Amino acid sequence: MSQAPAKPATAITPTRQEEFPEWYQQVIKASDMAENSEVRGCMVIKPWGYGIWENIQRQLDGMFKETGHSNAYFPLLIPLSYLAKEAAHVEGFAKECAVVTHHRLEAQKQDDGSVKMVPTGELAEPYVIRPTSETIIGAAFARWVESYRDLPLLINQWANVMRWEMRPRIFLRTAEFLWQEGHTAHETREEALAETAQMLRVYETFARDHLALPVLTGEKSPRERFPGAESTLCIEAMVQDRKAIQAGTSHFLGQNFSTASGIQFTGRSGAREFAWTTSWGVSTRLIGTLIMAHSDDDGLVLPPRVATQQIVILPVTPKEDSKQAVLDACDALAKALRARHYAGEPLRVQVDRRDLPGGTRNWEWIKKGVPLRIEIGPRDLEKGSVAVSRRDQGLKEKAFIPTEELVQSAADLLEAIQAGLLARATVFRDAHMVRIADRAEFERFFTPQNAEKPEIHGGFAVVDWAGSAEDEDALQKQLGVTIRCLPFGEEWLQPGTCFYTGQPSARQVVFAKAY
């Protein structure tokens, strides 16, 4: 009787196919990116994970400045009365708000000898820890704007926010997370609409060119809009369990927030007018997205442009008498590589000099997803070459390259990895984005074929749509799906028949399950 072939050994257990949610958590643990905090729903971002965020922040910040935006900082605490001015806005965040009601603690000794800390000094007005900053930034804009000559105001803030998530997951949904939030005020509706579209294009470009994420761009349905906005534009990514992640949003707020906050200016005709405002943001959710989109059963796989370290050099020192020569060669190579540039930045290179077995060090860097691993030993010194392994290729793949040739070609190798990850993710998304014409097929598409693996389903369903918000509610309750976006482009504006209502439709939309 023949035996079933042995399962290939992997660094991550379970694998993606066995249990995707737990695989995700184990990749984060194995790569030493982050961990849960003692504070419910919060995370500690460790150096390897925070290095990715620093690269995202620096590169995106440069793109914001190229489009004329300046950074500022606003208070963490927002007076409750500010939120009350914008009813639709506060309603959208009410269930997620953390509220500060006291400003002092007093120690009270208990009968058993223990000490209990008791809040005292009740505030005259409670403060909300910012879930987003439209209201308090609106109050500042109202002070700063007097004339049309003061416009546009183009402001961005890098900050932390808090939303009391019921089901937290590291990087994807945490009670506290890091983000940027852009806030702008304009003289005309047309200028504000142009700003909203421009910043969506910035996000699309960054996702594609820096994170190697192919994203759909489009508008949210009215049901899915940002609270208080007239329209919300978004980028939507597909990850390897075929779910969608909303990776960034840009909101046209109309005059709703300027009216509530009193952002008025004297217009060109001399009349007082309300400004037209926008807001837009991305967060540390981008890190969770790239983990789920690119990583494999051996750990993290990082796009080179945002990798904490792009190249790690591993000295191979089997004999003590050759150890110093190998270490010196590693340091010299690192110096030569750091003098080279990739995507406009010096190469990020680390020499791993730790006194650990070579196999242990190698596996650590595999699990951390570093794009290029370089090994140098005594034989390599004799030959004038190095052993190079690419994280995006099989673990047994290794190329022996002359040292000087590697220095000259390192940036090209990194770009090949970056482009390959984007191409691979695009093929995956397109293979699981399916045109669906009728309701029965739609239900089959989103019904798990294996009851033991309810997370695995079809992917992105492209359908003709003429339904209502109530129809969206019904589909979400039945199948757990939502309209991810009304995609941009003429190819999505074809007449048809709504798969759900049977009514004539003017366009196609994308439904998916989402994080």
| DSSP line for 291-319 | HHHH-BTTB----GGG-S-SEEEEE--SS
pLDDT in tens, 182-198: 999 999 999 999 999 99
Give yes or no for a cis peptide into 14 (omega within 30° of 0): yes
pLDDT in tens, 381-392: 999 999 999 999
Distance CA 236, CA 302 (A): 19
Average pLDDT over residues 420-434: 98
SS3 call for 36: strand
pLDDT the model gives residue 3? 54
Asked if the model's pLDDT at residue 483 lies above 50, the reply is yes
Distance CA 393, CA 376 (A): 20
Distance CA 385, CA 56 (A): 33
Asked if the model's pLDDT at residue 8 lies above 70, the reply is no
Main-chain phi, psi angles of 364, to 5 degrees = -60, -45
Top CATH class of 433-512 equals: alpha beta
pLDDT the model gives residue 452? 66
Which has the closest alpha carbon to 248: 235, 237, 238?
A: 235
Distance CA 511, CA 417 (A): 31
pLDDT the model gives residue 451? 63
Lowest mean pLDDT among 392-396, 424-428, 503-507: 392-396
pLDDT the model gives residue 160? 98
**Average pLDDT over the chain, rounded to an integer:** 95
> What are the residue boundaries of the structural domains of the chain, listed by start?
20-98+130-294, 309-415, 433-512
pLDDT the model gives residue 358? 87
Classify domain 20-98+130-294 at the CATH topology level.
Answer: BirA Bifunctional Protein; domain 2 (3.30.930)
pLDDT in tens, 93-115: 888 899 999 999 999 999 898 99
Classify domain 309-415 at the CATH topology level.
Answer: Rossmann fold (3.40.50)
pLDDT the model gives residue 455? 61
Asked if the model's pLDDT at residue 1 lies above 50, the reply is no
Distance CA 211, CA 286 (A): 8
Asked if the model's pLDDT at residue 277 lies above 70, the reply is yes
User: What's the maximum distance between 2 C-alpha atoms anywhere in the chain?
Assistant: 92
Distance CA 271, CA 265 (A): 8
Identify whether the C-beta of residue 334 lies closer than 8 Å to the C-beta of residue 297. Answer: no
Answer whether 20-98+130-294 and 309-415 agree in fold. no
pLDDT the model gives residue 457? 76
- How far CA 283 is from CA of 197, 308, 345, in Å, comes to 19, 17, 22
Confidence of residue 397 (pLDDT cuts 50, 70, 90): confident
Distance CA 178, CA 183 (A): 16
pLDDT in tens, 15-32: 999 999 999 999 999 999
Q: Which residues are paired to 228 by β-bridges?
A: none
Average pLDDT over residues 228-232: 96
Asked if the model's pLDDT at residue 226 lies above 60, the reply is yes
Give yes or no for a cis peptide into 152 (omega within 30° of 0): yes
Residue 6: Cβ-neighbour burial (10 angstroms; 0-12, 13-18, 19+): exposed
Distance CA 332, CA 338 (A): 10
pTM given for the model: 0.95
